[in-house]
Chains A and B, each alone.
Chain A
Amino acid sequence: MTTTKKPMTETAEKRKSGRPPENLKNELRLELPSNSINEGIARSIVSVFVSQLDPTFEELADIKCAVSEAVTNCIVHAYRDTHGTIYITLKILDEKTVRIEIRDRGCGIEDIKTAMQPLYTTDSEGERSGMGFTVMESFMDRLFVVSSLGRGTKITMVKTLGDGRIRGIK
């Protein structure tokens, strides 16, 4: 019997070696001007990127919503009366986990703890509900906020897909 030796596909090779497939170490960096049209564009791009982890419809909707909150905060608060750049970094940490960083070089947050309280808002004219941080916290597994007055703010969010449901936590 003659067998033609087929070259192993990359994934098969990695699976055999026990390491995660190379294509899972994916990363995307994005810079967007602080125009409100980019809220929807950022959501769409993140949604396409996260789709490689095969999320459920609900997981994807949660992530899109959290991203929308962080990007909108850059536009509405950080660059309130100015224009600036929003920096987004997406990184796949493992087969089920995505990390999303959203950073601005805007005004910064004076008191992060107060800012994160549900219903707290510094914008009284814009019909803000003050629920942005609450949405990010409850729709993602982890939320870190670092901010420096006059220098900007960085939001880091992590979500492990499937995790919340299996362990019954949010």
Chain B
Amino acid sequence: MGSRMRSSKAEAVTAVDGHTMIISLTGDIDHHSAKRLRGEIDSSLFTLRPKRAVMDMSEVEFMDSAGLGLILGRIACAEKIGCKLTLLSPSRQVMKILDLAGAGRLIEIKQK
């Protein structure tokens, strides 16, 4: 009763661990969801102004070039406030898109 079908609604949940802000992304990141995610991430980023931030990509189910735009945009925002941004555990599929744009040169990518 009442249990919903698993939806792929994208979410950005932020948490703080010492001087590091952790942004956990889930679901489908496309043009439809990217604008909202951008607002959510930036409001935490500019309020907390952390020294370091980690974008945890391990629960992302789908991402297209809009997600790439979201990541590149957040790299620029983090730079503005002197924050070092790291990408954590992108899937093979997400990695393929990052590689197409040579994003590995712009951001540190770590696996869990």
Q: Does A82 interact with chain B (Cβ within 8 Å)? A: no
- Closest chain A residue to B70 by CB distance? A127
Most chain B CB within 10 A, of A40, A129, A130, A132, is at A129
Question: Are B93 and A65 touching (Cβ within 8 A)?
Answer: yes
- Closest chain B residue to A121 by CB distance? B69
- How many CB-defined contacts (below 8 Å) exist between A and B? 72
Q: Does A68 interact with chain B (Cβ within 8 Å)? A: yes
Question: Are B93 and A61 touching (Cβ within 8 A)?
Answer: yes
Bound-state CA distance A25–B73 (Å) is: 44
Q: Is the interface of A mostly helix, strand, loop or mixed?
A: helix
Partner of A72, one of B30, B38, B68: B30
Question: Are A134 and B92 touching (Cβ within 8 A)?
Answer: no
Question: Are A129 and B62 touching (Cβ within 8 A)?
Answer: no
Chain B residues, Cβ within 8 Å of A118:
100-101
Most chain A CB within 10 A, of B32, B92, B93, B96, is at B32
Bound-state CA distance A61–B92 (Å) is: 10
Interface size class of A (residues with CB under 8 A): 20 to 34
- Closest chain A residue to B64 by CB distance? A68
Chain B residues, Cβ within 8 Å of A127:
34, 38, 69-70, 72-73
Partner of A75, one of B31, B38, B63: B31
- Closest chain B residue to A128 by CB distance? B69
Q: Does B83 interact with chain A (Cβ within 8 Å)? A: no
Chain A residues, Cβ within 8 Å of B72:
127, 129
Sample of 11 further A-B pairs with CB below 8 A, known A39-B30, A127-B70: A68-B62, A69-B64, A72-B64, A75-B31, A118-B101, A128-B65, A129-B65, A131-B68, A132-B65, A134-B100, A135-B97
